[in-house]
Amino acid sequence: MITGSICPTQGPTPLVVSLVVSQIRLSWVLIDGGSGLNIIFPKMLESMGYDLTTLVPSAEAFYGIITGSGSTPISKVTLTVNFGTQKNYRMEHIDFEVAAFETPYHAILGRPALAKFMVVPNYTYLVLKMPASM
C-alpha cells in the first residue's frame, strides 16, 4: 500500500503521495480519482531540468480545476513514473497536461494514471492499493 498524509485534527485531507517522475522524487502529488486528467506544472518541469522547448502543443481546454473558470493547457508531455514501494512497484509512461496555474502540489494524477497503474484510492484511510507483482 502507498500511504498518503493524514491530518486527524483538521478533518478530511486530500490523498497526497510521493512518487518518482523521470528519476526525480515528487513528494506532493495529489491523487484526484474524479479527474480525467494528469497535470504537471511548468515550474515543476523546469526544476526537474526538463527542456520546455520540447513540449508538444495542446489546444484542448479543461474545466473545473480552477473554480468558476476554464483553462487551456500549455502543452502535453509523456514522462516515466515509478509508483509503489521497493517490494511492489511499477513503472509506466504517463501523459500529462502541462498547465500554467499555481497549486501547492507538484503534480495531479487522475483516473488515466490510476487505471494504468491499476491502483485503487481509499480516501477513508488515505492509501492507494496496488496489486502485488506475480
According to CATH, the topology of domain 16-120 is Cathepsin D, subunit A; domain 1 (2.40.70)
pTM (2 decimals)? Answer: 0.81
Q: How confident is the model over 9-24, as pLDDT tens digits? A: 454 578 999 999 999 9
Q: What pLDDT does residue 23 have?
A: 92
Q: How far apart are CA 83 and CA 78, in angstroms?
A: 15
Helix/strand/coil for 54: helix
> pLDDT tens-digit profile of 49-102?
999 888 888 777 776 665 555 566 789 999 999 988 788 888 999 999 998 888
Beta-carbon-side half-sphere exposure of residue 53 (alpha carbons within 13 Å):
0
| 117 touches 6 (CB < 8 A) | no
Q: Which helix (H) or strand (E) holds 57?
A: strand 56-57
For position 6, what pLDDT does the model report?
A: 45
Q: Which residue has the higher pLDDT, 68 or 114?
A: 114
Secondary structure class of 35 (helix, strand, coil): coil
Burial of residue 58 (CB within 10 Å: 0-12, 13-18, 19+) is middle
Contact assessment for residue 20 and residue 26, using Cβ atoms and an 8 Å cutoff: yes
Confidence class of residue 31 from pLDDT cuts 50, 70 and 90?
very high
C-beta of residue 128 within 8 angstroms of C-beta of residue 122: yes
* The residue to which cell 502535453 is assigned: 76
